[in-house]
Structure 1
C-alpha cells in the first residue's frame, strides 16, 4: 500500500462518492474533500492541496478533465486517477491518463493509486 495520502474526491453521483470514500478510508487514506462539480473540484484542490485526486470524467457543470486542466494550470502537477464509465473519452482527451473503469473494485483502485503516487522510500532505508 502507498503511504497515507490526502485525497480530493470529485464525483457527481452521491452514492458512488460515498462508496469511493469508504474504499479510500479502508485503504488508509484521508479524504479531505468531496466535490460534485467542476468548480467545486477546482476550489477543493486549492483549499486542500491534496497528494492525489480521484476524478470522475463527468461532473456537474463540466468535466473532470477540464477541472484537472484548471487545477494543474494553477498548481502544477497534481497526481490524479480518473474513475469513469467512459474510459475511451478520457483516453482520447488526456493521453497518458491513469484510468479506472466503472464498475471497479478495491484492488483496481489501489493499483491505480500506486501507479499515480508510487511509494517513496523513507530516508535511512
Structure 2
C-alpha cells in the first residue's frame, strides 16, 4: 500500500513539474513575441518620413499671421524676429506693439534650430 501511495505522490509531483515547465516556456515565448513586435513597431517609426514639402521654396506669412505667432510665443517656447525687431518668449503680450508689423505685407520665414533640432527662433523678413 505504501508503494502505491508513493507512486501516486511521485506521479502528482511529476505532472505538476511538467505543468510548471510548460507554463514557463509559454510565458517566455509570449514575452519574446511581444518584444519582437515592439521592436518591429519602433524600427518602422524611425524609418518613416516625418514631413515633406510638396512645393520647394520659401514659406511666406502675412503680417496678421505673424501677429498671431507672436501672441503664442510663450506657449511655443520660441523667439520671433520681424525685420530686425526681436520678440522674446519671456515677454508679455500686453507689452507687444503690433503697429511695428505691417498686417498686409508678406514676410519670408527662416527657422533657427539648436543642435537637437528644436525650434529656437523664427526670423521674418519683408
Larger radius of gyration: 2
More helix by share: 2
Q: TM-score range by the shorter chain?
A: under 0.3
User: So what's the TM-score if we normalise by structure 1?
Assistant: 0.21
